[in-house]
Amino acid sequence: MGKQGTSRNPRRQGKGAKLRIDIVTLFPDFFTTPLAESILKRAQEKGLVKICLHRLRDYTHDRHQTVDGKPFGGGAGMVLKPEPIFECIETIRNSGWVVLLDARGEPLTQKMAEKLRRKRHLILIAGHYEGVDYRIHEHLVDQEISIGDFVTMGGEAPILCLVEAVVRLVPGVLGNRDSLTHESFHQGVLEYPQYTRPRKYRGWEVPKVLVSGNHQEVRRWRSEAARKLTRERRPDLLSRD
């Protein structure tokens, strides 16, 4: 119960990581399994990314480790208090970029993930209950991000989405770097359809151009198919051109 709090790394971390991520949360155990699986696990083991968890209650000073309070002016629910969050961030900040996951924030996009990847140090705050004391918005955070126009039970799941979107862009994390240049949103359109074996399944055949061996025609087909899918399902992306 002191100012220093605790931080827990799900996997052993290497020095000199290209990106450090600190996560401030009421529920650090929420992250333990996801951060210890698949690509996130390998990125940490390679020393490309360092991820630390900080339990918000460790930055309180009362016997009950109180992190929330009733809102001034009345209303339903509870609000996260400013003191634990300020003290936690001030302990770990250095030159870190502080992000609050909040419904008021700017919607997360691929371009935003690419900008965040270039930061050397991200500090992500998971809100909870009815939100955080507004002085945190006004005087502590550098950026507020939303993952969509819907409400979750807390900021933990949105943080995981953000972490996955950013970490996979760190050089060396993905085995095939070329895959990043063809996926959805990277070039302003959805990704083209993908097929694999068998060539014929239940009467449905793979488009002949994809097995023709003509790479120029394959590229043309993929470009046209990507734009067609985008027009049908996300025309808003094309209107941004």
Write the DSSP string, 35-47: HTSHHHHHHHHTT
- Model confidence band, residue 164 (pLDDT cutoffs 50, 70, 90): very high
How far apart (Å, rounded) are the C-alpha atoms in residues 226 and 185? 11
Give the residue among 28, 54, 31 at the shortest CA–CA distance from 163. Answer: 31
SS3 per-residue string spanning 60-119? CCCCCCCCEECCCCCCCCCEECHHHHHHHHHHHCCCCEEEEEEEEEEECCHHHHHHHHCC
Mean pLDDT of 86-95: 96
What letter does residue 238 receive in the DSSP assignment?
A: H
- Model confidence band, residue 129 (pLDDT cutoffs 50, 70, 90): confident
Provide the mean pLDDT of the chain.
90
Predicted confidence at residue 10, as pLDDT, reads 40
- Model confidence band, residue 8 (pLDDT cutoffs 50, 70, 90): very low
23 vs 16, more confident: 23
For the stretch 28-50, pLDDT in tens is 999 999 999 999 999 999 999 99
For the stretch 131-159, pLDDT in tens is 999 999 999 999 999 999 998 999 999 99
Predicted confidence at residue 239, as pLDDT, reads 82
Q: With 60 as the cut, is the pLDDT of residue 13 above it?
A: no
Mean pLDDT of 124-133: 92
Q: Please give the model's pTM, rounded to 2 decimal places.
A: 0.84
Neighbours of 198 (CB within 10 A): 10
Predicted confidence at residue 240, as pLDDT, reads 72
| Residue 35 vs residues 8, 120, 167, 188, 208: alpha-carbon distances, Å | 11, 19, 11, 29, 41
Percent of the chain scored above 90 by pLDDT?
Answer: 80
Mean pLDDT of 78-92: 97
Strand 143-146 and strand 97-107: the pairing is parallel
Predicted confidence at residue 179, as pLDDT, reads 58
Among the residue ranges 22-31, 58-67, 118-127, 182-191, the one predicted with the least confidence is 182-191
The tokens for 81 are 């208090």
Q: With 80 as the cut, is the pLDDT of residue 7 above it?
A: no
Could you give all domains of the chain from N- to C-terminal order, each with its CATH number?
7-167 (3.40.1280.10), 179-238 (1.10.1270.20)
Predicted confidence at residue 181, as pLDDT, reads 54
